[in-house]
Structure 1
C-alpha cells in the first residue's frame, strides 16, 4: 500500500506527476486524474496503481489515435499499424480501436465507401485496382468491398475508361494504329478494367488512323530507329531497324515500302 503525498503539473498541459510516499511514482493525464478522483491522502494498492497506469496508457493512445484520425479516415489495420509503430501495446491498441468504433470514429465499411466515392471521381483507376488498394489498406471483408464497389456506377466506369484509353492512344504518336490499340488495352487492364468492363465501351472508342496518320506515325518511328541504328553495319542495321518497327506494330509491307522510298536515310 502507498499514499499519494503529492500531485504536480507537468510542463505539458493536461499531464500530472503522482508521488507516492514522497517518491515520484508515475504520470497520469487530467482525464485519469478526474475520473479516479486522485488527490493527496488517497491510499493505493498495487492493483490500483496498475489500473491507473493502464488507464493513462489508454488515454495517451486514444489521443494519439484521434490525432491520426484528424487528417483523414483510417482503417482498423492502418490504425493498428500506426499505434504499434508508436510503441502502443497490442491490448491497449485493441481497446482504443474498440472505443473509436463505438463512438463512430472508425468504420471500415464507411472507409471503403468513401474511398471508392472519392477515387472514382478524382482518378481514372478502374474497380479492380481500387479494390486491390482497399485490400492493402486492410479492407478484407468481401461484403464491405462489394458494397463499396456498387458506388462505381456504369456511367462513371465508361467515362473514366474512355478518357484513359484516349489519353494512352493520343500519346503513342510513333506506333501503328494496331499497336496503339494494344497499348490502350494494356493500360486499361493495368488500371483495373476487366473484360466485362471493357465490353461496355471498347467498341465505341475511336481507334482508327487514316492512311495519312498511319504514314506519319511510320515515318516518325522509322526516322528515330534510323538514327539509333545508323552506326551498325548495313545488314545488322536493316535487321534491327525492321525489328524495331515491327515491335511498334508496323507490318513487313509498310516497313519495306518506307525503305523503298527512304533507303538513302540509312546510309
Structure 2
C-alpha cells in the first residue's frame, strides 16, 4: 500500500535505504534520518536512489507517483490471476488501497494495452460459463452479469447473440426435468403452478415459461 505522506525539507538527503522485513521486494527510504516512503525495488533502480542523494519535493512526488502506479500494476496482476475480471471490478479493487484517480487510470490503461482487461471478451466468457452451469433465463443472466459492472448495452448485445431463444428453451426444459420429480404433493394444476414460479425465479420470461410447461403438462 502507498506510504503515508512525507513532507520534505528544503535539503532532503537520503540517509539510508533498507529492505523491508515482510516484503523482500520493498525498501524503506529514510530522509534526514526519518522514514519517508516505501518503494519497490524496480522503482528504486529506475530512479537510482542511494544513500547521500539529495531530493527536492518535485522529484519525491514523481518517485511516489511512479511507485504508486507500480504498486497498482502488481496488485491488479495478482487480482486477475485468480480469474477474469471486469474493468469495474479492478477499479473497485484499486480504490480499496486509496490510490489516486490518476494512478488508477494509468494502471487500467496499462492493463488494457496488454489485453489483460477486455470487457467484451470477459462478458462473452461469463455468458458461456453461466450457460454451461445451472440453467437460468436471460433476465437472471443479465442481472448476474450486471453485478460485475459491465455496461448494460454490452451485456444486452452479447446475451442476445450468444444465448438464443432456442438454447434458453432447451435449458428451461432441462431445469424442469430435474425439478418436477422433487414435487411430491399436489395435483397437476398445483405442480404446474410450482413449476411456473420456479422458472420465473430462475429468470425465464412468462412466454417461455408457459411454452415449456405445455411440453410437460399438456401432452
**2 CA distance for matches of 1:172 and 1:113?**
35
The within-5 A match list for 1:1-267 is 1-11=11-21, 12-198=23-209, 201-203=212-214, 205-207=215-217
Secondary structure in structure 2 of the residue aligned to 1:80:
helix
> 1:166–1:184: 8 Å Cα contact kept in structure 2?
no
**1 CA distance for matches of 2:97 and 2:60?**
23
**2 CA distance for matches of 1:148 and 1:85?**
31
Could you list the runs of 5+ residues in structure 1 that have no partner in the other structure? Answer: 210-267
CA RMSD of aligned residues (A): 2.4
> 2:137–2:202: 8 Å Cα contact kept in structure 1?
yes
**1 CA distance for matches of 2:204 and 2:156?**
16
Taking structure 1 as reference, are residues 170 and 207 closer, same or farther at Cα in structure 2, changes over 3 Å only? farther
> 1:57–1:92: 8 Å Cα contact kept in structure 2?
yes
Q: What's the CA shift for 1:31? A: 1.8
Q: What's the CA shift for 1:158? A: 2.5
Q: Which digits, 9 at most, give the CA deviation of each residue in 1:46-97, with x for residues without a partner?
A: 0110111112222222212222111111112222222223333444333322
Name which one, 1 or 2, has greater alpha-carbon Rg.
Answer: 1
**1 CA distance for matches of 2:97 and 2:54?**
32
Secondary structure in structure 1 of the residue aligned to 2:16:
strand
Q: What's the CA shift for 1:155? A: 4.4
Moved over 6 A (4+): none
Residue correspondences, number? 208
Secondary structure in structure 1 of the residue aligned to 2:82:
coil
**2 CA distance for matches of 1:110 and 1:193?**
25
Could you list the runs of 5+ residues in structure 2 that have no partner in the other structure? Answer: 1-10
> 2:196–2:210: 8 Å Cα contact kept in structure 1?
no
TM-score normalized by structure 1? 0.69
Which structure exhibits the higher relative contact order, with contacts defined as CA atoms closer than 8 Å and separated by 6 or more residues? 2
More helix per residue: 1 or 2?
1
Taking structure 1 as reference, are residues 157 and 113 closer, same or farther at Cα in structure 2, changes over 3 Å only? same
